[in-house]
Structure 1
Amino acid sequence: MADTPLPSSFDGDTGFYEESRLQKFRRRLFEEPLIPLGCFLTCWALLGATKSIRAGDHHTANRMFRRRIYAQGFTIVAMVAGSIYWDGDRKKRKEFEGAVQDRKNQEKRQAWLRELEARDEEEKEFRARVEKGRQVEAERKASALTETRSVIEDGEGCRDGTIVAAVRGLWQGRR
């Protein structure tokens, strides 16, 4: 049998996917740059409100809280608009990724089937060798038994012709 393990659908192969997380993040960042901008503006408004509250300037704090609401609204509008704009491309990308996944699954399945067929052939060869060895051993035992019977029946190699003398003669190697 081969020493290599059988392929599995649970391999955890990192090269199995087309793009890494970093590549996906960069692609999404360039596809929809307004969403990170809205997140940055929201954080900036919260930071400004925090500083204003600590400084005791309630007028500036309220203005920064309003800016945070506007920034969050901008972010949500950017997400919805980007989702609508990129919807067709995302569908095409999902179809493409599905086709790539199907192709890879088919290749993996074919490799698995080839491996199973190779192991089946090895098993058949092994069983044939074992069966041939058993037949050779059975033939050897049968010929030895036949030879023993002929010596015992003929009474060759012994002076008095008894079975005990024939076996003794076989044991001593006269025949």
Structure 2
Amino acid sequence: MATAATTPVVPEQSVTNTQLPMLDIFQPPDIEGFTPLSRPREETFQEKFKRKAKENPFVPIGCVGTAAALMYGLRAFKQGKTRQSQLLMRGRIFAQGFTVVAIIFGVFTTALKKD
């Protein structure tokens, strides 16, 4: 003789929006005794560039040197001055290496400054 298992019938509870508080994800939660810190002002691109250039001025110098050597080298190549073009391309590689070393140096000095 098999007995059928019966599950208790639970009346469904309806959840309405009035029972749940509305959360605004853009506002910090209101916790008693807690004052959230104000958000820092966002930097513009120009302000950030100026700040970074003051921290490590060799990176923008290396970037400008790389771009200048590339442009003059391509111009010399177009004009058929192969010797000058080769020298400028070698100068571009030197400027790129200088920029990479400046970036690495800046990363290390920033890491050591924070400690």
TM over 0.5: yes
Aligned match for 1:10, one of 23, 26, 31: 26
Q: CA deviation at 1:59?
A: 0.2
State the distance in 1 between where 2:23 and 2:58 align.
44
Look up the equivalent residue of 1:76 and give its one-letter code.
V
Partner residue of 1:29? 53
The higher radius of gyration belongs to: 1
Partner residue of 1:56? 80
SS of equivalent to 1:26: helix
TM-score (norm. length: structure 1): 0.43
State the distance in 2 between where 1:31 and 1:19 align.
19
State the distance in 2 between where 1:79 and 1:61 align.
27
State the distance in 1 between where 2:52 and 2:73 align.
30
Aligned residues: 83
Q: Structure 1 7/18 Cα, relative in aligned 2: closer, same or farther at 3 Å? A: farther
Look up the equivalent residue of 1:81 and give its one-letter code.
F
Higher-helix-fraction structure? 1
Kindly report the root-mean-square deviation, in angstroms, between the aligned alpha carbons of the 2 structures: 2.2
> How many percent identity over aligned positions?
31
1:84 aligns with 2:108: yes
Residue deviations 1:49-73, cap 9 Å, x none? 1110111000000000000000000
Q: CA deviation at 1:45?
A: 0.4
TM-score (norm. length: structure 2): 0.63
Residue deviations 1:17-66, cap 9 Å, x none? 33413332221110011000000000000011111011100000000000
SS of equivalent to 2:24: coil
Aligned match for 1:69, one of 71, 88, 93: 93
Look up the equivalent residue of 1:27 and give its one-letter code.
R
State the distance in 2 between where 1:39 and 1:70 align.
11
Runs (4 or more) in structure 1 with deviation over 3 Å come to 6-9
Aligned match for 2:65, one of 41, 57, 60: 41
